[in-house]
Amino acid sequence: MNEAKMKALVSELARVKSEQNVLAALAIYHPEAELVSPSFEATAVGSEEVHKQLGLFFLMFPDYHVALEHYAINGSIMLATATVTLSANIPGKTTPQIELPVFLEFHFKENRISKEVFHLDAGLICRRSGISQAEFKETINTYLIVKSMEESYA
C-alpha cells in the first residue's frame, strides 16, 4: 500500500467520522480492525465491537469533527496529528463546543485500516467542558446501558 492510498483512506475515515457515519467508517476499517482509545480505557476488536465503540463515542460527542493536520508514514504505519471539535453530551448539562489536539496512529492491512490508536485526552475534555471526571464516566456508563438495551431489543 502506498503513501497516497494510506492518506486517502485516513482522510476518508476522518470525513465519515465527522459525519458520525459509523457504517461508512466500518467499510474503511479491516473486518478484524482494532480501535484503541487509551484515555477512555477502551479497546474494540472486530467490526461488531468497533461498531459499538463508535456508536457510543458519537452518543457522547454528537457534533464530533476532526481535521487532519500533519502526518508521517513509516512502512505500513501512519502517525498523524489533528484537531477535533466536539461538545460533550452530558444529560442535564449544557457544555460548550471545544477544540482539542489529537494524536492518531494508523496501521494498514489488505488496503484497509487494521488498527487505529486514538489519543484524545479525556481529562482535557472534562476541564475545557466544565464537567467532572465522575460526570464523564457516569455518562459513558449510562450510554453503555442504553446501547446494551437497544441491542437486546433489536
**CATH (domain of 28):** 3.10.450.50
**Domain enclosing residue 47, as ranges:** 3-153
pLDDT of residue 153: 65
DSSP 46: S
pLDDT tens readout for residues 66-109: 999 999 999 999 999 999 999 999 988 999 999 999 999 999 99
Q: What percent of the chain has pLDDT over 70?
A: 94
Q: What percent of the chain has pLDDT over 90?
A: 80
Q: Residue 11 in 3-state DSSP? A: helix
Whole-prediction pTM value?
A: 0.91
Question: What is the total count of domains within the chain?
Answer: 1
Pairing relationship of beta strands 77-86 and 42-45 according to DSSP bridges: unpaired
Q: Tell me which of 144 and 58 has the higher pLDDT.
A: 58
Grade residue 144 by pLDDT with cuts at 50, 70 and 90.
confident
pLDDT (mean) for 117-124: 95
